[in-house]
Structure 1
């Protein structure tokens, strides 16, 4: 396996199961990645403990970036699978600081970042019925 994320040196911060480093192709000042130390393809393959470790580092990194760069907001992104834009098949979360005026408009939030045509996917009633609403509660 020739995964570029499996051999990270000089992390920004790490814990037992996850680590962080600056993105080598940053979208903005301070853009960093949070990854699992164990090679897993995406969040759905991670253990509950790895998920907790990743999100623990997300909070820590946000605080560090607040102090270092004083951004006005953040984008947090994760692509799962090639069809979703994942280019490195190792679970990673992008933490991207945003600054007032760094883009023309972020109207529409994440939809404005992802949908190039500005359209909205209309979910039909038939689509909605594909995942039945059972009313069942799931414990975490």
Structure 2
């Protein structure tokens, strides 16, 4: 991808922290105040394209991000997740892990990252409820 906004050249001066393979950056989305993203320095389209070393460095930065967010915001919970491909909600085709603090006083508190997916209105014709 030409001029990827998440490649290392684009985020190096905005990185809050980084290690050999990944960088931690603040999420620019104003609605998700206090949230971060972990991006690979090498251009990778999705989480499925990451190397083992990138996975390990992502984990290290995830732990660091949690410590920073806990210190700065004291959230009541977290959402952590990847979107993959446009149908999966990925808007920039460079792997990025969202680290989002959540608070009790939010209008959507208690609704997780799968909430909208579990709605009856999102069911496909072939989807059936599986009994466990």
Q: Same fold (TM over 0.5)?
A: yes
TM-score by length of 1: 0.78
Aligned length, in residue pairs: 124
- The reply to whether residue 83 of structure 1 matches residue 107 of structure 2 is no
The match for 2:19 among 12, 15, 25 is 15
Q: Which range is displaced more, 36-45 or 110-119?
A: 110-119
Match of 1:57 in 2: 61
| 1:29 shift after superposition | 2.2
Within 5 Å, which residues of 2 pair with 1:36-115?
A: 36-107=40-111, 109-115=112-118
Q: Secondary structure at the match of 2:31?
A: coil
Instruction: Identify if the C-alpha distance between structure 1 residues 113 and 89 changes in structure 2 by more than 3 Å, giving closer, same or farther.
Output: same
Q: Structure 2 stretches of 5 or more lacking a match? A: none
Kindly report structure 1 stretches of 4+ aligned residues shifted beyond 6 Å: none
TM-score by length of 2: 0.82
Quote the Cα distance in structure 1 between the aligned partners of 2:82 and 2:30: 15
Q: Structure 1 stretches of 5 or more lacking a match? A: 126-140
Greater share of helix residues, 1 or 2?
2
Match of 1:122 in 2: 128
| 1:56 shift after superposition | 1.2
CA contact (8 A) 2:102 2:109 kept: no
Instruction: Identify if the C-alpha distance between structure 1 residues 74 and 111 changes in structure 2 by more than 3 Å, giving closer, same or farther.
Output: same
Q: Which range is displaced more, 97-106 or 79-88?
A: 97-106
